[in-house]
Amino acid sequence: MDFELDQDQEMLAKTVADFAKNESPVERFRKLRDDDIGWDPGVWRKMGELGWLGVPFAESVGGFGGSFVECALVLENLATTLVPEPYLASVVLGGSTLARAGNAAQHDAYLTPMIEGETTLALAYSEAQSRYDVSSVETKATPDGSGGYKLSGEKVWVLNGHHADHLVVSASAPGGVTLFVVPRKADGVAVTVAKTIDGQKAAFIKLDGVRVSNEARLGDEGSGAAVLDRTMDYAAAAAVAEGVGIATVMLHMTVEYLGTREQFGVKIGSFQALQHRAVDMYAETELLRSISMASTVRADEDDPSVRGGDISAAKYQLATGGIWVAQQSLQLHGGIGVTDEHDIGLYFKRMYALNALFGDQEHHVARFASDSSFAEAPA
């Protein structure tokens, strides 16, 4: 049993943390909130040059052949200053799905340019009725008789869907849920930008008879739901890793505030009621960090029964402990925490966004409890 990072991993974490601190402080995110894209393609390219966008992917597609551990390190450290580039949307959601479901030609065409920082991806899987069930897909893929398909339907809350070069879209084909790559600018794709609570952007995407060739299909008909299940675990673990970064910063900012803010002639951090709250925040943050280590390591497991328990437990801790840390850090900042001027609220909103994505608390409780091993094995 070993929780330590190897030297390369340590180095990666430090490089990303330094970048976040020095080159992308929170003010940068603030400015980009009002930008049409919301992030900077130049910075994305730089991330590609630094190799960050390829850490979990095989060397054969231009990646670094790492594991999810590296991916989690990037996410956790980018989160410390709310770096807005679409790492989660493009690498974790679009990228890992393409890597798993696509063939070599598709990897060359869509994954490699993303890894190099030339393009970004988005995963259009969610629909108005689907909630967290990736197999609930009403978007239709109708065979056009010559090997291709016509896609029609509506996708919601597509992260980075407003600017991604390529969308990975789930649709119901005659053989079941199937994944396709669709250029965002293809005929029949209508994108509506939707601002999100955390100052980022997503898209509602309407597909109206979008023509795709057979080469745009990722894997066989009917193979999509299993791939998406896997992606959702990956993404849940990613959200938790990011949540660790968020919670750590919120705890740190709060402890610092308690040590400087004075009322009644003393530092408010000397009040026992507030000290105890801060200690409980610390406990929840460490529980989140610890179970995140487990979900990070498990994210690459093929067996869903081995993988799922820790990932659901981690997402559950984000939904309970992580959210609680966010709430309390705002509370302990007092009125200033509820202004847009103070950074604490930006982290607060990002934690809620992470909570809402890739399965909420009830979803993961139910998933954990429905595993076949739940009845027999204790823990």
What is the binding site for another protein (CB under 8 A)? 1-5, 69, 255, 258-259, 266-267, 269-272, 274-276, 278-280, 282-283, 286-291, 293-294, 296-297, 309-310, 312-314, 316-317, 320-321, 362, 364-366, 368-370, 374-376, 378-379
Rounded Cα distance between 94 and 213, Å, is 19
Closest approach, Cβ 258 to another protein, in A, equals: 6
Task: Name the token pair of 142.
Answer: 């109708």
> Which is nearer to another protein, 22 or 272 (by Cβ)?
272
Residue type, 374: F
> Which is nearer to another protein, 60 or 290 (by Cβ)?
290
> Which is nearer to another protein, 3 or 42 (by Cβ)?
3
Closest approach, Cβ 367 to another protein, in A, equals: 9
Closest approach, Cβ 255 to another protein, in A, equals: 5
> Which is nearer to another protein, 235 or 258 (by Cβ)?
258
SS3 of 70, please?
Answer: helix
Rounded Cα distance between 40 and 192, Å, is 20
> Which is nearer to another protein, 291 or 344 (by Cβ)?
291
Closest approach, Cβ 105 to another protein, in A, equals: 34
CB-CB contact of 150 with 144 (8 Å): yes
- What is the enclosing helix (H) or strand (E) of 140? strand 140-143
- What is the enclosing helix (H) or strand (E) of 158? strand 149-159
Closest approach, Cβ 260 to another protein, in A, equals: 9
Rounded Cα distance between 40 and 51, Å, is 17
| Backbone torsion region of residue 15, taken as left when φ is above 0, otherwise alpha when ψ lies between -120 and 50, otherwise beta | alpha
Closest approach, Cβ 55 to another protein, in A, equals: 15
Task: Name the token pair of 326.
Answer: 């966010």
Largest interatomic CA distance in the chain: 79
Owner of token pair 């597509």:
158
State the CB neighbour count (10 A cutoff) for residue 186.
Answer: 16
> Which is nearer to another protein, 96 or 296 (by Cβ)?
296
> Which is nearer to another protein, 171 or 299 (by Cβ)?
299
Task: Give the CB-side neighbour count of residue 240, counting CA atoms within 13 A.
Answer: 41
Sign of the C-alpha dihedral computed for residues 306, 308, 312 and 314 taken in this order: positive
Closest approach, Cβ 24 to another protein, in A, equals: 26
State the CB neighbour count (10 A cutoff) for residue 150.
Answer: 17
Alpha helices in 221-360 (DSSP H): 224-260, 272-298, 304-317, 323-333, 344-356
Closest approach, Cβ 272 to another protein, in A, equals: 7
Closest approach, Cβ 56 to another protein, in A, equals: 14
Rounded Cα distance between 119 and 98, Å, is 14
> Which is nearer to another protein, 212 or 278 (by Cβ)?
278
> Which is nearer to another protein, 148 or 321 (by Cβ)?
321
